[in-house]
């Protein structure tokens, strides 16, 4: 009993509980609202179509051992993003705990600085991919296992029992090899291992320092050494971004220019990681979030700061008053941090990449540990403990608000994408094999699988080919290149991305568009063009080529799966609009009129005037002149839409008085 109480009162337990509480407050507020993002779409579609073993084929071109993380993860979690996010949270926490463990072993007199560094590393605001937990499962596993490997290396030195020492060292080597195979540019973390060994050796007697360090380093060199031998001489990457020969090809022809470019990028990225990470992301998010939406984030930040203050004040010891201690620990922390930043960035910079908090925040994650050490060492020069903790709290405030805003935006993106595809499912019962979608989407679309991934999960979740992954629905990006290819009527474009084969066809497109965030989804019909005044110009250009013949009429409607599309939303205005648009395509004017009456009875109204069009046609079909007059007020307020209504109604077989009324309402200026 006494031993258990002593453990609960120990620094290690208290500090670990602090990291757990802070991590929970920072990373879990929106965990139930996260969905699929970016590469998650093709990963989960492929696994659902062919099983977990498909990850071997997906990752074999660049990082084949990522499959050893993703196969067990998919076997345990299936397609549910919640479980991946909880796993990502635990892995992130483990990396912070192991980082703290290593610092406590290497610099035992730096209690305050070690805990501060662990807190700053755990909450580092420059790494913004935490909610993208499926694709980043390997990244976070690699980070956690890399930190654990380093901690075990240090622990193996301090353990006196030979069997325990050997077991810990072997385990650290195995984990070291494994984490490097997940993400090769994590090799910069090895600087931390060897720098920690150097700091340990520095504590030995002067005559033994060099000997001890070389002894320890020569045993630990097997970790990065064997990995580099395998990576450079045996493994052949098929992906340009991870092909060392390709990436270093320009260096041979212009070494001085390459060196200059690397140094400039290093200087810029060092500044980004060390300083800008605490300012730029939260500033960027502030433009996307309303003032009142920040209130919960401020409350969370207040809780984080409160538990940090309580922990530091109640566990302060005399040596914490001078955070630097007598051994010059402040300088060691800063030098260790700067080295870790540089070596954490170099593997990224040497292959032509750099830190970008908008798209490439992942490249800062190894350097983040170095930034945390630099800040902890720098704050250690402040003698006043309260002031020191106050400045640490400001950094934690920035980090907490950044992750709160990042999580809120990810959650909103999930909701927007789910709403998009639920509306599509209300409008389109089934899509034909070979349909190529072009979509104006509520989130940024960087790859075609952002569109064909969810479309296939709804309409064709199984592979179209028995031997490999082939979606039945394809997609093309909404950009100038696609427009040019559609206008040129180019044939199929074959792509084999990570073993997933697609055959997008620019002669066979269906355009989907959400003109504004509040508007309903538009299924563009090239034979009867109706476009919102807020429509994207690229959609306007492609509209004549959009073929609603790709929609299989009369088929059973497909219900989007609960995972990842969530429960069906309430049937609001857009539900009635989509059903009316489908009824119009069928020529079922009775149903369209019924939907109009029901929507009006419920008090629903159009969010964009273009959404009145199917109801206008239904009213015209049944010679409901009063209803036509009601709808004309909204439609004629937008002159291009009035012209579209004029063309559409003139093409219908209307009664003479109805046609005359339509021409008077919509065809005169």
Q: Mean pLDDT, 10 residues at a time, over the chain (669 residues)?
A: 53 93 98 97 97 96 94 98 98 98 92 95 97 97 98 93 91 96 95 94 76 88 93 77 54 73 90 95 93 96 96 73 54 93 94 86 94 95 91 97 98 98 98 96 93 98 94 97 95 91 95 96 96 96 96 96 97 98 97 97 96 97 95 92 94 94 87
As given in the structure block, the two tokens for residue 659 are 């046609």
Q: Which helix (H) or strand (E) holds 474?
A: strand 474-475
pLDDT of residue 209: 80
Half-sphere exposure of 445 (CA within 13 A, CB side): 21
Give me the pLDDT at residue 560, please.
98
- Give Cβ neighbours of residue 663 (< 8 Å, ≥ 6 apart): 646, 649, 650
pTM value? 0.94
Tokens matching residue 632: 């004309």
pLDDT on residue 668? 78
Quote the DSSP letter at residue 557: P
Give the CA distances from residue 140 to residues 85, 94, 319, 582, 623, in Å, rounded to whole numbers and listed in that order: 11, 10, 34, 45, 64
Cα separation, 638 vs 641, whole angstroms: 5
The answer to whether the beta carbons of residues 438 and 483 sit under 8 Å apart is no
pLDDT at 324 (0 to 100) = 44
Element holding 97 (H helix, E strand): helix 81-106
* Cβ pair 372, 345 in contact under 8 A: no
- How far is it, in rounded angstroms, from Cα 535 to Cα 453? 24
Residue 402 and residue 297 in contact, taking contact as beta carbons nearer than 8 Å: no
Contact 406, 282 (CB under 8 A): no
Kindly state the tokens that stand for 463.
Answer: 């592979």
The DSSP line for 321-358 is HSTTTTTTHHHHHHHHHHHHHHHHHHHHHTTT---BTT
Q: What local confidence, expressed as pLDDT, does residue 255 receive?
A: 74
DSSP per residue, 16-60: HHHHHHHHHHHHSTTGGG----TTHHHHHHHHHHH-TTHHHHHHT
């Amino acid at each position: 009993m006494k031993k258990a109480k002593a453990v609960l009162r120990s620094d290690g337990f208290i500090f670990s509980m602090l990291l757990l509480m802070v991590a929970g407050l920072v990373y879990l507020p929106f965990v139930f609202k996260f969905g699929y993002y970016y590469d998650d779409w093709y990963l989960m579609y492929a696994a659902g179509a062919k099983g977990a073993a498909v990850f071997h084929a997906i990752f074999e071109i660049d990082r084949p051992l990522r499959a050893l993380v993703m196969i067990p993860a998919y076997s345990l979690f299936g397609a549910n993003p919640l479980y991946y996010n909880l796993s990502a949270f635990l892995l992130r926490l483990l990396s912070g705990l192991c980082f703290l463990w290593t610092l406590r072993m290497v610099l035992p007199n730096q209690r305050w600085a070690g805990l501060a560094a662990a807190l700053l590393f755990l909450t580092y605001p420059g790494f913004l991919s935490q909610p993208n937990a499926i694709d980043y499962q390997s990244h976070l596993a690699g980070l956690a296992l890399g930190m654990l490997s380093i901690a075990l290396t240090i622990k193996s030195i301090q353990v006196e029992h030979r069997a325990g020492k050997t077991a810990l060292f072997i385990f650290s080597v195995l984990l070291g090899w494994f984490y490097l195979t997940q993400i090769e540019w994590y090799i910069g973390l090895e600087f931390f291992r060897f720098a920690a060994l150097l700091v340990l050796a520095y504590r030995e007697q002067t005559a033994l320092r060099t000997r001890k360090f070389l002894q320890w380093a020569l045993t630990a060199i097997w970790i990065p050494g064997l990995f580099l031998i395998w990576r450079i001489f045996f493994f052949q990457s098929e992906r340009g971004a991870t092909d060392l020969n390709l990436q270093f090809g320009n260096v041979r022809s212009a070494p001085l220019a390459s060196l200059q470019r690397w140094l400039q990028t290093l200087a810029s990225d060092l500044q980004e990681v060390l300083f800008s990470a605490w300012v730029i992301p939260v500033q960027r998010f502030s433009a996307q979030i309303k003032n009142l939406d920040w209130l919960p984030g401020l409350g969370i930040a207040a809780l984080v700061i409160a538990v940090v203050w309580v922990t530091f004040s109640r566990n302060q010891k005399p040596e914490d008053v001078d955070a630097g201690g007598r051994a010059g620990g402040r300088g060691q922390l800063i030098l260790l941090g700067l080295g870790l930043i540089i070596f954490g960035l170099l593997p990224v910079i040497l292959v032509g990449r750099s830190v970008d908090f908008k798209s490439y925040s992942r490249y800062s994650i190894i350097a983040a540990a170095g930034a945390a050490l630099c800040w902890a060492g720098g704050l250690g020069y402040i003698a006043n403990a309260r002031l020191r903790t106050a400045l640490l709290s400001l950094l934690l405030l920035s980090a907490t608000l950044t992750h709160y805003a990042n999580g809120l935006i990810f959650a909103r993106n999930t909701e927007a994408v789910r709403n998009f595809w639920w509306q599509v499912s209300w409008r389109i019962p089934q899509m034909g094999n070979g349909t190529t979608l072009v979509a104006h989407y509520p989130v940024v679309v960087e790859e075609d699988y952002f569109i064909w991934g969810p479309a296939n999960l709804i309409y064709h979740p199984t592979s179209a080919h028995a031997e490999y992954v082939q979606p039945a629905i394809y997609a093309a990006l909404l950009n100038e290149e696609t427009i040019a290819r559609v206008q040129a009527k180019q044939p199929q474009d074959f792509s084999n991305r990570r073993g997933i084969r697609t055959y997008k066809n620019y002669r066979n497109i269906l355009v989907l568009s959400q003109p504004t965030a509040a508007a309903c989804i538009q299924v563009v019909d090239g034979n009867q063009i109706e476009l919102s005044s807020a429509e994207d110009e690229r959609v306007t250009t492609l509209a004549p080529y959009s073929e609603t013949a790709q929609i299989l009429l009369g088929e059973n409607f497909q219900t989007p799966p609960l995972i990842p599309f969530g429960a069906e939303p309430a049937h609001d205005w857009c539900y009635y609009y989509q059903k009316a648009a489908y009824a119009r395509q069928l020529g079922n004017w009775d149903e369209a009129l019924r939907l109009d009456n029901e929507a009006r009875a419920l008090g629903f109204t159009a969010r964009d005037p273009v959404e009145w069009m199917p109801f206008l046609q239904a009213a015209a079909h049944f010679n409901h002149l009063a209803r036509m007059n009601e709808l004309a007020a909204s439609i004629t307020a937008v002159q291009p839409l009035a012209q579209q209504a004029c063309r559409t109604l003139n093409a219908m077989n209307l009664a003479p008085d109805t046609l005359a009324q339509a021409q008077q309402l919509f065809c005169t200026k």
